[in-house]
Structure 1
Amino acid sequence: MRDVIALHFATHDGVELFYRHWPAMGQAPGKTRQAIVLLHRGHEHSGRIAHLVEELDLPGFDFFAWDARGHGQSPGARGDSPSFATTVRDLQTFIEHIGASHGVEASNIAVVAQSVGAVVAATWAHDYAPRIRAMVLASPAFKVKLYVPFARQGLALLRRLKGNFFVNSYVKSRLLTHDRHRQVSYDSDPLIAKAISVNVLLGLYEAAERVVADAQAIQVPTQLLISGADFVVHRKPQEQFFERLGSLHKEQHILPGFFHDTLGERDREQALSRIRRFVLHAFEQPVQRPALLDADRVGATCAEAEALAAPLPRNSVRDLYWRLTRASMRLGSSLSAGVKLGFDTGFDSGSTLDYVYRNQPTGRGGLGRLIDRNYLESIGWRGIRQRKVNIEELLRLAMQRLRDAQRPVRIVDIAAGHGRYILESLKGVEPLPESILLRDYSDLNVQQGSALIEQLDLDEIARFIKADAFDRDNLAALDPKPTLAVVSGLYELFASNRMVGDSLAGLAAAVEPGGYLVYTGQPWHPQLELIARALTSHRGGQAWVMRRRSQAEMDQLVEAAGFRKITQRIDEWGIFSVSLAQRLP
C-alpha cells in the first residue's frame, strides 16, 4: 500500500485547494519523474478515486488527485465555483504547482478524468493547449440527461430572474455502479455534495458544446471510455467529440453494461487494463503533436474561413437573413455611436477597440444609448474587455520579473491601437519603465495614442510612431532593444502564418534573450458568421472574415520564432487568450 500525503496549493485567486499525493515506489535515482493526475466526478472528491492508485498498478508513477473547488476538503460553497472556467484555470494552476513543487513537468504528466472532471480536462486541453503526455476521459459529461423537457432553458431563465441557485442531483448510487461496496460508500460519504450550482451546471453545458464542436483543436493523445448503459450522460456527444478529435493518437472504447461511474464499476478492470496500456505506451514515445505552421493553407480553420468568405446563393434564406441583419445594423448606426464608429473606421480598428474598452453607451437619445448598450454587451466585446484585463495582468507580471532580475523594462507594442491597455497597465507600477515605444499603421491611432500619452503625463518615457507590424527587418532593428514586446489583437486579423511568422521573427531578433513577449490569440468565437456577413474591417470596408487559430497553432508559431511559453489567461467563454513567453538564448 502506498503512502499518501495530504497537501494544499494556492490557486490563481489565492484559494487553497486540497489534494492528495502518492509518491512513486522504487524510483531509480536520477530517473525523470512521471505522474498521473486524477480528476474526480461532479459531487465527489479525491478520496472516491483513491482506489485507482493501487488498481492501475503503475508503481513508477507519482499520483496526484485534487478536491475541486467546492468539493470534498476544498473550500467554497458545496458544488459551486465562480464559474466553470475558474475550475478549468484551477487545473492549469494545479499542473503548474506540480511542476514547481514536485519537479514533474507537464510533458511527463498524464491526466485520467471522469464525468465532469473529464469535461474540465477536455476544456483545459482545448483552451490552454498543454503539452501533457496523454489524457484519458471516462464517461465525459458533455451532455447531462436532465429528463425534464426544456430544463436547461428553464434553469437559464430562473438564473436571470433570481441569480445563482442550487440544483440537487437525481442520481441514485445504484444507477452509478453495479459495485455494491461503491454504492454503500457513496450513500454514506459525508463529503459528497448532491447539489450543484446553476452557474456551474450551465457553464458545464456551454463549455462542453464548444469543446465537442471544436475538438479538432485538441492535440493531446486521448483515450475515450464510454459506459454502455449510462443513465447520467448522453453517448452521442462523446462519439462526436471522438470523431472530431485532432489528436494523432486516439482510441475509443465502449464498455457494454457499464453505468456512469466507469472507473468505479464492478468490472472496472476492463477499463483499467486499457488505461494502463495506453498510458504506458504514451510514455514510451516522445511528446508528439501535429505540425500546425501551415494550418492557414490546409485544415479545419482554413476551410472554415473560406466558407465564411464565400458569397451566399442570391436570395437564399441565409442570404436574406444576413442582408436584413446588415440593414438593421446600418439603421442602428444612425442612433448608436459605437455602431457608427464601427462602420466608419472598421469594427476591428483601434478606434473601435478603444471605444469598447471605455464601455460608455453613447447615442442619440434613450433609444440610441439602449442600442449602444446592447452592442457593447455582445459576447465578443465582453471578451475583448476581459482580454484587456488579462493583458494588463501579464504585462505587470513580466515587468515584475524583469525588475526581480535587475533588468531594465523597455516596452514595445507593435500594433498598439490607441495604446490604452499598455498605458493603463502602469497604474500603481513603481518604478515606471525606462521606455515605451508604441507603434501602429494608422495615422488616426498614432494621433489619438499620442494624445493619451500626453493626457497621462507619460511624455518623458513614452512615444508613438507610425510603423508596419509585419516589417521583419524594421522590427529586428529596434533600438534600444526591447525587453518586453506586446502583440495584442493583431495576428487574429490576418490569416497568413507567413506574415505572423515574419513579424514574430523580427521581434525575436529585437527582444533581448531572457526578455518577454505578451501575445494574444482567438481559438474560438461564437459569432464568426455574424462578423463575416454583417461587419466590416478597417481594410477599406471589406468584410471582416477571421480565420481562427487554435491555441496550439498560435503557441507553435511563437515557439518557432524562439520564445518559450510560460503562462496563459483566457476569458470564461474561451474566446480570447493572452499568453506570456520568454525569449530563449
Structure 2
Amino acid sequence: MENKKKARAALVIFHALGLHSGRYAWFCEELASSGVSCFAPDLYGHGLSEGARGGGSLSELLASARTFVQLIRSKCSSCDLYLAGHGAGALVALAVSMPPLRRVLALSPVAEVAPYWRSLPRLKLLAALRMRVSLDPRPLYDARHRDALLEVEEDNLVVRKIPAKLIAETLRTLRTNKHFDANLVILAESKSRNSECYSAFKRSSGIVEAEIFYNPDLQDFPIENLMEKLIARS
C-alpha cells in the first residue's frame, strides 16, 4: 500500500505478525495529509504476498523487507526516508536499517509476541514439530479509530495461527541481546511499559531518542510527536 502527497519525507512501515498492509490505511492517510509518503508492504507470508500464510521464518520476512526498502530508496531518492514497524515489525525495521537509515520508529513494538516471552522452550518443541500457535493480531488503533478492532475480526487476510518457529526466532533474537545500529523513537501502549519483552526490545538499539506512552482506548495516536521526528530534519 502506498499513499503520497507532496512528499516532505517518506516512511516505510512494516506490519505486525498476522496483519498486513491494508490494516494501516488510516495511519498512512494521517501521514499523507501532513506531506509524508507512507509505504506499507506485505511481508513474506502475509496479506497478498507469496509464501505460506503467516510467514515461514524470520529470515524470510527480513529478506522481503530488505527488498522493499531498496525499491523505495530508489523511488524516493529526493526526500528523507525513515523506517517504522508495528509489533514485531519494529524488530524487522531495526534489523534491516542501515546507513543512512539510522532512526527507527517503533509502534507498540513486539506486543503480539510478548505473551510468549516465557514460553520459548515450548515454542522450540512446537517449532521442531512444525506446528503453529495462536496469535492475537491487534491492529494499530486509537480513540478515533476503534473501528479498526472490528475490521480486523472480519478480515480474511489476517492470520491468527503463526508458525511456532517464527515466534521462537523472534523471541530468541530479543533474548540474545543482539544490538542494531539504529536509534529508536518509541510510541507504545501504556500497558507495555513493564513488559519484559518490551524492555528487551529497547536494549536492542543504540539510543532511545524518545519514548511516548498512550492509551489507545482513551487517547488519539500521538501523531504530532511522530511528525516532529519526520519533518524536523527533512
- What's the TM-score bracket when you normalise by the shorter of the two chains? 0.7 to 0.9
> Which residue of the other structure, out of 104, 108, 118, is the alignment partner of 2:77?
104
Secondary structure of the structure 2 residue equivalent to 1:62: strand
- Once the two structures are TM-superposed, the CA of residue 197 in structure 1 deviates from its matched residue by 0.7
> Which residue of the other structure, out of 109, 113, 127, is the alignment partner of 2:85?
113
1:379 aligns with none
1:300 aligns with none
Structure 1 segments of 4+ aligned residues over 6 angstroms from their partners? none
Q: More helix per residue: 1 or 2?
A: 1
- Once the two structures are TM-superposed, the CA of residue 251 in structure 1 deviates from its matched residue by 1.2
CA contact (8 A) 2:123 2:165 kept: no
CA contact (8 A) 2:126 2:165 kept: no
1:167 aligns with 133
Per-residue deviation, residues 496-547 of structure 1 (Å, max 9, x unmatched):
xxxxxxxxxxxxxxxxxxxxxxxxxxxxxxxxxxxxxxxxxxxxxxxxxxxx
- Once the two structures are TM-superposed, the CA of residue 200 in structure 1 deviates from its matched residue by 0.9
> Which residue of the other structure, out of 195, 209, 224, is the alignment partner of 2:161?
195
- Once the two structures are TM-superposed, the CA of residue 237 in structure 1 deviates from its matched residue by 4.1
CA contact (8 A) 1:136 1:223 kept: yes
TM-score by length of 2: 0.84
CA contact (8 A) 1:177 1:183 kept: no
- Once the two structures are TM-superposed, the CA of residue 51 in structure 1 deviates from its matched residue by 0.8
Structure 1 position 236 matched with structure 2 position 193: no
Structure 1 position 251 matched with structure 2 position 221: no
Structure 1 position 146 matched with structure 2 position 98: no
- 1:158, 1:172 → 2: CA distance? 20
- 1:195, 1:250 → 2: CA distance? 34
2:4 aligns with 23
- Once the two structures are TM-superposed, the CA of residue 254 in structure 1 deviates from its matched residue by 2.3
- 2:52, 2:33 → 1: CA distance? 35
1:281 aligns with 232
CA contact (8 A) 1:35 1:61 kept: yes
- 2:121, 2:3 → 1: CA distance? 43
- Once the two structures are TM-superposed, the CA of residue 57 in structure 1 deviates from its matched residue by 5.1
Amino acid in structure 2 at the alignment position of 1:157: L
- 2:138, 2:204 → 1: CA distance? 32
- 2:137, 2:201 → 1: CA distance? 27
Per-residue deviation, residues 350-403 of structure 1 (Å, max 9, x unmatched):
xxxxxxxxxxxxxxxxxxxxxxxxxxxxxxxxxxxxxxxxxxxxxxxxxxxxxx
1:94 aligns with 68
- Once the two structures are TM-superposed, the CA of residue 62 in structure 1 deviates from its matched residue by 2.3
1:267 aligns with 219
Based on CA coordinates, which of the two structures has the bigger radius of gyration? 1
Amino acid in structure 1 at the alignment position of 2:126: L
Change in 2 beyond 3 A, CA 1:66/1:229:
same
Aligned residue-pair number: 231
CA contact (8 A) 1:35 1:104 kept: no
Q: How does 1:538-577 map to 2 (within 5 A)?
A: none
- Once the two structures are TM-superposed, the CA of residue 74 in structure 1 deviates from its matched residue by 1.1
CA contact (8 A) 1:226 1:235 kept: no
- Once the two structures are TM-superposed, the CA of residue 226 in structure 1 deviates from its matched residue by 2.5
- State, as a whole percentage, how many aligned pairs show the same letter: 20
1:223 aligns with 185
1:79 aligns with 54
Per-residue deviation, residues 94-120 of structure 1 (Å, max 9, x unmatched):
1111233x2437x82111211011111
Change in 2 beyond 3 A, CA 1:244/1:282:
farther
Amino acid in structure 2 at the alignment position of 1:86: E
Amino acid in structure 1 at the alignment position of 2:188: I
Structure 1 position 204 matched with structure 2 position 164: no
Per-residue deviation, residues 399-431 of structure 1 (Å, max 9, x unmatched):
xxxxxxxxxxxxxxxxxxxxxxxxxxxxxxxxx
Structure 1 position 124 matched with structure 2 position 84: no
- Once the two structures are TM-superposed, the CA of residue 240 in structure 1 deviates from its matched residue by 5.0
Q: How does 1:477-488 map to 2 (within 5 A)?
A: none
- Once the two structures are TM-superposed, the CA of residue 138 in structure 1 deviates from its matched residue by 1.2
Structure 1 position 34 matched with structure 2 position 3: no
Unaligned residue ranges in structure 1 (runs of 5+):
1-19, 28-32, 259-264, 284-585
Unaligned residue ranges in structure 2 (runs of 5+):
none
Per-residue deviation, residues 249-290 of structure 1 (Å, max 9, x unmatched):
7111222x34xxxxxx66233x2121111211232xxxxxxx
Between 1 and 2, higher relative CO (CA 8 Å, sep ≥ 6) is seen in 2
Secondary structure of the structure 1 residue equivalent to 2:115: coil
- Once the two structures are TM-superposed, the CA of residue 59 in structure 1 deviates from its matched residue by 4.0
Q: How does 1:93-492 map to 2 (within 5 A)?
A: 93-100=67-74, 102-104=75-77, 108-125=80-97, 129-132=98-101, 134-141=103-110, 144-146=114-116, 151-160=119-128, 162=129, 164-169=130-135, 171=136, 180-210=146-176, 213-215=177-179, 217-218=180-181, 220-230=182-192, 235-239=195-199, 241-242=201-202, 245-247=205-207, 250-255=209-214, 257-258=215-216, 267-269=219-221, 271-283=222-234
- 2:82, 2:218 → 1: CA distance? 24
- Once the two structures are TM-superposed, the CA of residue 177 in structure 1 deviates from its matched residue by 6.5
- Once the two structures are TM-superposed, the CA of residue 152 in structure 1 deviates from its matched residue by 2.3
